Amino acid sequence: MAGYVVRRVLGMVLLLFLLTLTVFVLFSLMPADPARLTCGKACSPAIIENNRHRLELDIPPIEQYQRFVAGIFVGRTYLKDTARPLECEAPCLGYSFLRNQEVLAMITKAAPVTFWLAIGGFVTWMVIGLVFGVVAALKRGRWQDRTVMGIALVGYSLPSFFIGLVLFFFVVLIWHLLPIPQWTSGMPFANPGKFFQTMLLPWITIATLNAAFYMRLTRNQVLEVFGEDYVRTARAKGLPERIVVVKHALRAGLTPIVTAAGLDLAYLLGGAIITENIFNLPGLGSLAIGSVLASDLPLITGITLVAAALIIVANLVVDLLYAVVDPRVRVG
């Protein structure tokens, strides 16, 4: 087990390194010229060249990459040869000259919004998906099963931009059941009531599609496990049906689901672009959209890096968890 953990962690470090390289290459090759974007229409070539130097874009790409990686570990200083140098402390993910802010500072400001959005949505869809999926499996072919599968089909067919807009339109604008969502700093602890009013619809929006997906996944998993020989063995031992279902069938059937869920959560933590935009939540998704629209390269790079790192780490956590739950994975 220890060897397995060490190998997986080393693999993850290598992967993160490759990630920085990929992200850097990807965005260095973008057609937009960041230096050109720093000033408006009345811009002379001299000013552009000057800005190019200030942004450190006039040095060879290899060196740019070195400074980028060095910034993450030891920090870096922009505008060294000017009167007002910019100190960016480690871990420095870059500096957005468009917004005159450090990338990391913007990300850490947006991250809590996305975090609470993702966690709330995740809990909602997992509870709904697992409960309804298990009920459907236990009542296979009966009306409960058909109802759940019908709901799943509808949920499946509702894209989040549609359900988000419909909810917002009716619940907020027409029926005035909820105030217009407004994220304020200090949420959720400063103002829990307002927090829930703001987040309820975004959570539903995010949970709908995933809940539908997890209902079907859970149902199929559980049904498959019910056909397994070891479930029959558990019955043959004379165990009560409740223990057969919970300890033998669900334990084995839900394990792969929970691990799949871990990855979905990590993906969501990288920013829920559509939902955040519909409900005006200043999370990572909104930040990402803003950065792309403005061609804010350092910010795009930073967000991509964080989102991808989240997924890599989640992948590792999920695999390690799986090894804890399923003894067959603990090899060598």
Partner 1 sequence: MINMERAEGRAERSPDREFLSIENLGVTFNTEDGVVRAIDGVSLSLERGKTLAVVGESGSGKSVTAQAIMGLVKSQGGHVTGEIWLDGQELNRLAADEVQALRGSEMAMIFQDPMSSLHPFYRVGDQIVEAILAHRKIGKTAARKETLEMLKHVGIPAAERRIDAYPHQLSGGMRQRVMIGMALINSPQLLIADEPTTALDVTVQAQILDLISTLKQEFGTTVILITHDLGIVADVADQVAVMYGGRLVEVGQTSVIYDQPEMPYTLGLLSSIPRMDRELPKRLDPIRGNPPSPINLPPGCVFQPRCNYSDRVRDGACLSVRPELLPTAPDHLVRCHLPAEERRQISEEVRRILAGAVR
Q: Provide the binding-site residues for partner 1, judged by CB under 8 A.
A: 228-230, 232-241, 248, 251-252, 255, 325-328
Query: Do the Cβ atoms of 153 and 251 come closer than 8 Å?
Result: no
Q: Which is nearer to partner 1, 56 or 228 (CB)?
A: 228
Nearest approach, Cβ of residue 235 and partner 1 (Å): 6
Q: Residue type for 312, please?
A: I
Nearest approach, Cβ of residue 219 and partner 1 (Å): 16
In whole angstroms, what is the distance from residue 43 CA to residue 45 CA? 7
Nearest approach, Cβ of residue 137 and partner 1 (Å): 13
Phi then psi for residue 102, to 5 deg, are: -70, 140
- Residue 219, both tokens: 């149902």
Strand partners, 88: 76
Nearest approach, Cβ of residue 239 and partner 1 (Å): 5
State the number of CA atoms in the 13 A half-sphere of 265 facing the CB: 21
Q: Which is nearer to partner 1, 12 or 223 (CB)?
A: 223
Query: Do the Cβ atoms of 162 and 239 come closer than 8 Å?
Result: no
- Residue 223, both tokens: 């049904």
Count CB atoms within 10 A of the CB of residue 313: 14
For residues 315-326, b (16+ Cβ closer than 10 Å) or e, as one string? Answer: bbebbbebbeee
Q: Which is nearer to partner 1, 249 or 266 (CB)?
A: 249
Q: Which is nearer to partner 1, 149 or 171 (CB)?
A: 149
Q: Which is nearer to partner 1, 56 or 326 (CB)?
A: 326
Report the candidate in 195, 174, 175 with the shortest Cα–Cα distance to residue 185. 195
Nearest approach, Cβ of residue 321 and partner 1 (Å): 14
- Residue 34, both tokens: 């960041």
Q: Which is nearer to partner 1, 192 or 240 (CB)?
A: 240
Q: Which is nearer to partner 1, 252 or 307 (CB)?
A: 252
Between the alpha carbon of residue 286 and those of residues 96, 110, 178, 188, the distances in Å are: 16, 9, 22, 19
In whole angstroms, what is the distance from residue 230 CA to residue 223 CA? 13
Query: Do the Cβ atoms of 299 and 287 come closer than 8 Å?
Result: yes
Nearest approach, Cβ of residue 234 and partner 1 (Å): 7
List Cβ neighbours of 23 (8 Å cut-off, separation of 6 or more): 301, 304, 305, 308
Nearest approach, Cβ of residue 126 and partner 1 (Å): 21
Q: Which is nearer to partner 1, 151 or 223 (CB)?
A: 223
Nearest approach, Cβ of residue 328 and partner 1 (Å): 5
